[in-house]
Structure 1
Amino acid sequence: MKWLTNIRSGPERMRAPIRLAIYVRYVRYLLWEFRWPLGVFWSLVLGGGLVLQQCYHHRPLTYVEGCYSVFLLIFLEPYLDFPDEWYLQPLFFLLPIVGLGAVVDSLIRLGYLTFTKKSQLPEWQRMMASLYRNHMIVVGLGKVGFQITQGILALREPVVVIERVGTDSTLLDEIIDLGVPVIRGDGRNAKTLELAGIGHARAVILATSDDLTNLDAGLTAKDLNSEAKIVLRLFDESLAVKIAGAFSLPAISTAQVSATAFIAAATGRKVYQRFQLADKPLHLIDLTICPTGKLVGRTVGDVQADSQVNVVMHHGKAGVNVNPGHEIVFEPGDMLLVIAPIDRLIELESTNQSGQRPEDAASCAAVLPQ
């Protein structure tokens, strides 16, 4: 769980006005939830007050006094003498029964809502999501979706998660505990995406384990918000290529992404990544300066100019230097992060390992430090 270090939960990142808006909406939800008990109670008070004003003849009553009498009568504190009118006598028995029933029902349900985590309520999740702007939506909270959500939180970016109903896991509980709104529903459904704030979202990441589900949800999201960036997770590499070309939707092939991890492990590297920049394939690798190689004694600027590579990080005796200066000199054992086309990296590796003995090859394949 190292990704969770220093990650603040959703409400903690919100400004005070936004938090206040959430609680105002929550009060509105409570009023709607208790609309029937409240309606019954106040109907008894207001309607009963009108009946007493018109029909109670022991003494004259104003309408407000009649309502006050009914209010006290509901809580078994009669304000008026028992009426002589036969049609009012049943009222004095029924009002406490019905009124107290409504009050007790409300108190029991309010107690449940108070002692139950409100963050677990679907209504609370929807209220939080409705206040998000320029956020990201992750559809599918499996292991991949969980890692994606953690990474977004680590970048201090707002995120809303969509997970289908009936799926309960510790991952879901952990995400909710972090304050991330979780909308339960089908990500292919337009209503579900709207509850997650698709109209104000900056990006939607479809990370379920089903290619067709991701494609369906991605196209629906694109229809609802043409400005949002839609990213699909696909297992079928050929399908990913076709989708990216036909629909202009970035599609990440699971096979292609995992291939780099296998290559890195097989070559003894910590970092090996392939990506595209301006439609040009580039690779990111780590490189350890061999004591007998031809890179020893050369500077960063010299190597970058001759080999047409970009050294983005240098780790030497002076420590880690991101985007190192051109004047830094390579020494044996220094570790580098290099970006370049694969053919340039092969030439650089060859230059680095030239002159080494076979038994020293392993020492030149060191990986980046933790």
Structure 2
Amino acid sequence: MVNPRHRLAMNVRYLGALLRRFRTTVLMAVLLFGCMPLVYRWRHAPLDGSRVSLGKALRHVYFLLYGQPSLDVDDSLLMLLDMVIPPVGIAVLVDGVVRFAYLFFARHRQDKEWFEVIAETMKGHVVVCGAGRVGYRVVTQLRALGKDVVVVEKREEAAFVSVLRDEQVPLLIDDIRSPQCLPRTNVNKAAAIVCATDDDLANLNIALDARRMNPNIRVVIRLFDDDLVAKVRDTFKAEALSSSSLAAPAMALAALDPRIIHSFRIGTHLMVVSVFEARDGLPGMTISEVRDRFGALTLSMRRQGSRDEWLHPSGETRIQVGDALTLQAEYKDYRQLRAYTMELEAPVYSQRLDSAS
């Protein structure tokens, strides 16, 4: 759900961006309805010698837009204005007012001009290219962190296009490699761009164009070719991630030990995250002792019988029987800790099903 304050701030910024974009229309409206009635009041002299009221002068200017003057003028300047105001007003003012109202009230997510105005209101936002599974999860995580996000997707029928629109995420349907696409995302003021399409070449093209338009932008590229990852990181100075390299450790370790809930690499070190239930060995130790002895960081802790998760417990906290600890450690240290708790071998899947039933 969108925070009401955040929604109000977005609407105010959006209105400001519209006023900047339609400043010619605003100036024309001020000139037409603010200054022209004063001119008619000054120069128009009825037969009885009394000046025309400001309200009648304003009404005359208004109806001139429709070619229906309400005053009979014989002054040369006013006659010239009677001829100039209708075509100029229709060409500039009416067209601008209609487009302004359309963009402000309609706000169609598939409209490129609407998207461009929304992007103009943002600064330090993140541009996500691709509305597939990866792109959608990136958007969800960024929004949970409070970041402004805009999304670009080439295909209207992409998996999460309708979902993103329902969640009121600014979404542009366009070919990301077209010359006008990235400028519409206000990439010059963006903090980062995430290239998450399913085409390596397209992701690289997007990254190069974004870096050319904004040399300080942080670039994150999703690549399927593992050979390109290291080259892009070294030569392009961008964060390149391979889906297969990210998934491989998790899949391999899940096959060996289903108790491992997450895994990742830091350089050459394979790190794992797992939940330990304090039964043997751990009760009586402190959080600091577990870290110093096994190199395991305690990410969270939950006391037996409690549903509250205690993030980053202090080092002096003493572990009790039945405590559930979420620990992060290098894989070899994790194995040593499992051995210390007398449960080195991973549980057999069928046995876990039997115990659960």
Distance, in Å, in 2 between the alignment partners of 1:68 and 1:359 is 86
Secondary structure at 1:147 match in 2? helix
Deviations 1:186-222, CA, capped at 9 Å, x for gaps: 3345643232122222221110011111112112222
Identify if the C-alpha distance between structure 1 residues 311 and 190 changes in structure 2 by more than 3 Å, giving closer, same or farther.
farther
Distance, in Å, in 2 between the alignment partners of 1:206 and 1:98 is 47
Pairing partner for 1:300 from 257, 264, 287: 287
Pairing partner for 2:276 from 266, 285, 288: 288
Identify if the C-alpha distance between structure 1 residues 354 and 77 changes in structure 2 by more than 3 Å, giving closer, same or farther.
closer
2:17 match: 25
Deviations 1:286-343, CA, capped at 9 Å, x for gaps: 133364x433443322222222222222223164322223332242x43322222221
Residues 1-12 of structure 1 mapped to structure 2, 5 A cutoff: 7-8=1-2, 12=5
Identify if the C-alpha distance between structure 1 residues 317 and 179 changes in structure 2 by more than 3 Å, giving closer, same or farther.
same
Query: Gaps (5+ residues) in structure 1?
Result: 1-6
Residues 64-103 of structure 1 mapped to structure 2, 5 A cutoff: 72=63, 74=66, 79-80=71-72
Contact 1:290 1:353 in 2 (8 A): no
2:196 match: 207
Residues 242-257 of structure 1 mapped to structure 2, 5 A cutoff: 242-257=231-246
Contact 1:308 1:340 in 2 (8 A): yes
Distance, in Å, in 2 between the alignment partners of 1:183 and 1:330 is 53
Secondary structure at 1:304 match in 2? helix
Deviations 1:147-190, CA, capped at 9 Å, x for gaps: 110110011111122223x5245722332343432344333456
Identify if the C-alpha distance between structure 1 residues 360 and 346 changes in structure 2 by more than 3 Å, giving closer, same or farther.
same
Residues 1-370 of structure 1 mapped to structure 2, 5 A cutoff: 7-8=1-2, 12-13=5-6, 16=9, 19-27=11-19, 72=63, 74=66, 79-80=71-72, 116-164=106-154, 166-169=155-158, 171-189=160-178, 191-263=180-252, 265-266=254-255, 267-269=257-259, 271-276=261-266, 279=267, 281-289=269-277, 291=279, 293-317=280-304, 319=306, 320-324=309-313, 325-331=315-321, 333-353=322-342
Letter in 2 for 1:283: M
- Alignment RMSD (CA, Å): 4.8
Distance, in Å, in 2 between the alignment partners of 1:139 and 1:115 is 27
Contact 1:144 1:207 in 2 (8 A): yes
| Number of aligned positions between the proteins | 334
Distance, in Å, in 1 between the alignment partners of 2:330 and 2:210 is 35
Contact 1:190 1:220 in 2 (8 A): no
Secondary structure at 2:275 match in 1? strand
Higher relative contact order (CA 8 A, sep 6+): 1
Secondary structure at 2:160 match in 1? helix
Letter in 1 for 2:2: R
**1:106 Cα shift?**
8.9
Contact 1:289 1:352 in 2 (8 A): no
Deviations 1:19-77, CA, capped at 9 Å, x for gaps: 43421432565687999xx99xx8xxx9xx99xx9xxxx999x9999997686574657
Q: Which stretch of structure 1 is more off in the superposition, 247-256 or 108-117?
A: 108-117
Identify if the C-alpha distance between structure 1 residues 356 and 346 changes in structure 2 by more than 3 Å, giving closer, same or farther.
closer
Distance, in Å, in 2 between the alignment partners of 1:194 and 1:327 is 53
Distance, in Å, in 1 between the alignment partners of 2:276 and 2:344 is 15
